[in-house]
Amino acid sequence: MGLSTVLAVWVVPAQTIAIAGSLTAASPSADWLGYHATPSGAGVARGVSQVDTTRRRWTSPVLDGELYGEPLVFAHEVLVATQNDSLYALSASDGAVLWRRHLASPVASSSLPCGDISPVLGITGTPVIDAARREIFVMAFEVDRGRARHVIYGISVTSGRIMMRRGVTTPTSDQRPYLNRSGLAIDRGRLVYTLGGNYGDCANYHGVVGSLREDGSGPEATFVVDRARGQREGAVWMGGAAAVVDTRGNVWVASGNGSVTSAGQPYDHSDAVLELSSAMRLEGFFAPSTWVQDNASDADLSVAPVVMGDGLVVATGKSGRIYSLRASHLGGVGGQLTQIDSGCGDVIDGGAAFQGDVVYLPCAAGPLAVRVGRSGHLDVLWRATSGGGPPIVVGRRVWSIGADGVLYGIDVASGEVAQRANLGPLSNHFSTPSVGAGLLLAPTSRQVVAFNAH
């Protein structure tokens, strides 16, 4: 039976390593269900005002692979996935392993045409949890009958048993050039995933945004970037951020650099903010007027769109330019309301956070705070000089993990470092913390570190 066939309610006993404590019902404020918590990706911890970084609450055991995704929290469990195609449930009380599910054999890095993840690629993107179903969904990169395939699993959060397994299709049959870097999202009973390429943009791939039912049944719906004859690339990766789902159920993503790099050729939906319906129909797009030059210089939009509640959207990326857009009319090529130079001094990529009219952007040299006016006017409030990983907001602090393996708590008013805690070596510079069950959680290379948050 091929992976394109749904194996719904495929029950396999969980590989239980340890039992530590029992599950308890958690209030919504205690949970962190997907990348940056909510479908909007706002990354704001509700009902929490302070984090104690004077000492660790706990440090998890060393897990069986590198950690690239954000830790999630549900029902007093901390759930985290590894590059070894394993999913762990840790006790929020002490970090002990409640259960582990090893899903498949990951793909050896040496078998890929390029990339910077090694020695294996398994689960790279952040999973997502459907609280009502008590089910967590992950996309694994695995070896299936000798071929590399991207497969979505639905797994019970209480027992670790596999509820669903579904392989996804790609525009080209060889899936080795594809990478699921972005987190998964949920849009009214459908899972939303994205695909890009490996570091180096090698071989033949196309950026993909896809969706399928949570039970794995029925056909996929997909939108493909750079889909014309002779085109390639246009990765939808966003530095690990998940697709944004708005209140109407529309899906928002940013696409990366495409293969069109000379003037006079038709626009290819690369280097763009794309608004898609839940059926993956293009509803609108924005691309900088410099999209051809951006493609040629790898200066594409690489931050998930910030879709604010007042009808405005903020977009930015490796070029350092920040754009404000009108959500109801993205304007196509050159359709921004305003644009400014961020002054970042480095690349901007990953997931943003936002609260009120202020957006916190993941500049690699240190997060930026940008105020967005009602007309779309943009003002940089401050530029931090520490941190740099995708930020979240907890009370009066912006929390960001630096490439130096330090967790920084940055004052929201001044941009000055107010707190810090050493974490240890990281797997990548897109590591982002989360909050839930009275904890701030930060991933290191192969462990999760927890601090009290209240």
Q: Cα–Cα distance between 260 and 212 in angstroms, integer?
A: 30
pLDDT of the residue at 28: 41
What one-character-per-residue DSSP string does 308-356 give?
-TTSEEEEEBTT-EEEEEETTB--EET--SEEEE---SS-B-B--EEET
State the burial class of residue 198 (Cβ atoms within 10 Å of its Cβ: 0-12, 13-18, 19+): buried
Q: Which tokens sit at 44?
A: 């704001």
Q: Which long-range contacts (CB under 8 A, 24 or more apart) does 17-21 make?
A: 17/97, 17/99, 17/100, 18/96, 18/97, 18/98, 19/98, 19/99, 20/91, 20/93, 20/94, 20/96, 20/97, 20/98, 21/76, 21/91, 21/93, 21/94, 21/96, 21/98
Q: Cα–Cα distance between 362 and 357 in angstroms, integer?
A: 17
What one-character-per-residue DSSP string does 350-387 give?
B--EEETTEEEE-BTTS-EEEEE-TTS-EEEEEE-SS-
Q: Cα–Cα distance between 386 and 369 in angstroms, integer?
A: 13
pLDDT of the residue at 230: 87
State the burial class of residue 111 (Cβ atoms within 10 Å of its Cβ: 0-12, 13-18, 19+): exposed
Q: Which residues contact 59 (CB under 8 A, 6 or more apart)?
A: 95, 447, 448, 449, 450
311 compared with 19, residue with greater pLDDT: 311
Q: What percent of the chain has pLDDT over 70?
A: 94
Query: How many CA atoms lie less than 13 Å away from 37 in the CB half-sphere?
Result: 24
- 244-254 tens-digit pLDDT: 999 999 999 99
Place of tokens 């050159």: 334
For residue 21, pLDDT over 90 is answered with no
For residue 15, pLDDT over 80 is answered with no
Q: Which residues contact 164 (CB under 8 A, 6 or more apart)?
A: 6, 7, 8, 9, 10, 152, 153, 154, 214, 215, 216
pLDDT of the residue at 12: 35
Q: Which residues contact 232 (CB under 8 A, 6 or more apart)?
A: 204, 205, 206, 226, 258, 259
Q: For residues 322 and 254, is the Cβ–Cβ distance under 8 A?
A: no
Q: Which superfamily does CATH assign the domain made up of 28-452 to? A: Quinoprotein alcohol dehydrogenase-like superfamily (2.140.10.10)
Place of tokens 């995933």: 193
- 24-79 tens-digit pLDDT: 333 445 899 999 999 999 999 999 999 999 999 999 999 999 999 999 999 999 99
For residue 427, pLDDT over 70 is answered with yes
pLDDT of the residue at 14: 40
- 92-143 tens-digit pLDDT: 999 999 999 999 999 999 999 999 999 999 999 999 999 999 999 999 999 9
pLDDT of the residue at 29: 54
- 205-226 tens-digit pLDDT: 999 999 999 999 999 999 999 9
User: pLDDT band for position 312 (50/70/90)?
Assistant: very high
How close are the terminal C-alpha atoms of the chain, in Å? 49
Q: How many CB atoms lie within 10 A of CB 311?
A: 13
Q: How many CB atoms lie within 10 A of CB 374?
A: 9
For residue 17, pLDDT over 70 is answered with no
Q: Cα–Cα distance between 274 and 376 in angstroms, integer?
A: 19
Place of tokens 């319906």: 277
Place of tokens 């180096």: 200
Q: Which tokens sit at 66?
A: 């590198």
Per-domain residue ranges of the chain = 28-452
Q: Cα–Cα distance between 265 and 293 in angstroms, integer?
A: 12
- Looking at every residue in the chain, the average pLDDT score rounds to 93
Q: State mean pLDDT over 168-181.
A: 97
Q: Cα–Cα distance between 188 and 54 in angstroms, integer?
A: 41
